[in-house]
Structure 1
């Protein structure tokens, strides 16, 4: 089944109907941990990722940091805490709905593609019995959603995504722009260690501060970055005069072969740099174009560790 997104605006009914499509989504997994969860995938823990199970008498080889000193002092015999791997993997979706996302040259706007990707990931997480939440941000505000295991929570998230997307088309261009680093800082604040984090953005302003926030976030979470782009952003059109407008002003740029090559080299270098920096953090970067089959790309490329 194909899932090709179209349009400059988001249809609420389509995001709700995406639940049926999400059931076909099989996110590929690397079995780094073998303990099972309540969901249908292995645990993606980084760090301890444990929950308290019981107290018992200390045994040789137990970690000193797990000794319960209060019980030890009360009973005069050393006791240690026994932990088990947590039985949940919260899904946290970070959705970029800033002004640069309101662009598309073929099938749909980047903002619309991001909303549909968020819907598929959210419904898939819920059907896997995971708690789903996230952060949606624009140039002047953001909404946060604590992970919950309920259809109502996902509907609330998707309804807000539609509102942000609609507002993106209606609001006039402003000089004020929220930096990606600021959104990532908020994301880090609401994300519990052991989560699977999906960041849907074009990463046009990824900088040192954003890198720092991702570094802190990646220490205890698995992160997949969906870098959303449009074909026109990767390659200039055929040679000739190209009219451009920001909705208020209009200009014309003359494209020749030299400019085309310079532009391709610049974009290729920028993408390579972003991929290298994210790889250093253990973050998977998945390029996603507005003319891609969304279901096919997510099924083939995303690996939950």
Structure 2
């Protein structure tokens, strides 16, 4: 992809995602993810409705009238976008590739975060962590993240989510809001690391999938290739048993993704490439905010 094409694609994603972030996510994002705690703001005379537990007894005694301490939420948060860039993400049969949907969702989340002056960081992983952009604030930083999502060329084809989680835990000692975007078809054995990471961080897994991945059409003998291993196989899609086995394999991958995230206490949702991702994200944020 040449420079002009990269700039054009980044601009398109920026315009589309900023509009969605501004119109739909600002309130939901803010209410869904809380700050690190409460910090002292000021002392003022007691007003009707104030919490009596916040009365400052020294000031009250000095002025002979009740005074209260006022606290505000320490809002600044850190968002980490963990993105699977293995070869299986370069698949799409209808609207766009899975990787393109991932880039749009990441951009929308990032613009939502910087609206509230939160920091955003990026981890690109395959079977190893291939790129890390430390969290920063501002539009210029988000545009750099989009540019990497659009233009980065991975060195490896397979997926190792376990290693990516190890990197996350070693890199961030304070709580962060972590969004993991992958197809989770073959993410490895990551259950233990996910449970550990989810105790410290607020983690959400977003499974991106293409409708045509969920089943094999009946089109006779075809040669298929695994994008991550390069292995090629000749299969007979006319066989009901072959189609059933594949559908069961895919259903199991989806089930394992949901089970692993649920058991670890992390959030999860599924988004199809040819559908608008706004509705499922909004529904997730609304549920998340009432936990």
- Shared fold (TM-score greater than 0.5)? yes
Is it true that 1:240 corresponds to 2:220 in the alignment?
A: yes
* Alignment correspondent of 2:106: 118
Cα shift at 1:52: 6.9
* Alignment correspondent of 1:204: 185
Cα shift at 1:195: 1.9
* Alignment correspondent of 2:66: none
* Alignment correspondent of 2:12: 14
Cα shift at 1:268: 1.6
* Alignment correspondent of 2:193: 213
* Alignment correspondent of 2:249: 266
Trace 1:1-305 onto structure 2 (pairs within 5 A).
Answer: 11-17=9-15, 18-26=17-25, 40-41=30-31, 43-44=33-34, 49-50=36-37, 86-139=74-127, 141-164=129-152, 167=153, 177=158, 179-208=160-189, 210-245=190-225, 252-255=234-237, 256-303=239-286, 304-305=288-289
Q: 1: CA distance between counterparts of 2:260 and 2:245?
A: 23
CA separation of 1:296/1:103 partners in 2, compared to 1, >3 Å: closer, same or farther?
A: same
Contact 1:197 1:222 in 2 (8 A): yes
CA separation of 1:271/1:159 partners in 2, compared to 1, >3 Å: closer, same or farther?
A: same
Residue ranges of structure 1 left out of the alignment (5+ in a row) = 1-9, 30-38, 55-82
Cα shift at 1:218: 0.8
Across the aligned residues of Structure 1 and Structure 2, the Cα RMSD in angstroms comes to 3.1
For structure 1, which segment, 95-104 or 268-277, has the greater mean C-alpha deviation from structure 2 after superposition? 268-277
Structure with more contact order per residue of length (Cα contacts < 8 Å, sep ≥ 6): 1
Cα shift at 1:251: 5.3
Contact 1:28 1:299 in 2 (8 A): no
Contact 1:244 1:250 in 2 (8 A): yes
Per-residue deviation, residues 19-53 of structure 1 (Å, max 9, x unmatched): 12221233785xxxxxxxxx9436536xxx44775
The normalised TM-score by structure 2 is: 0.74
The normalised TM-score by structure 1 is: 0.71
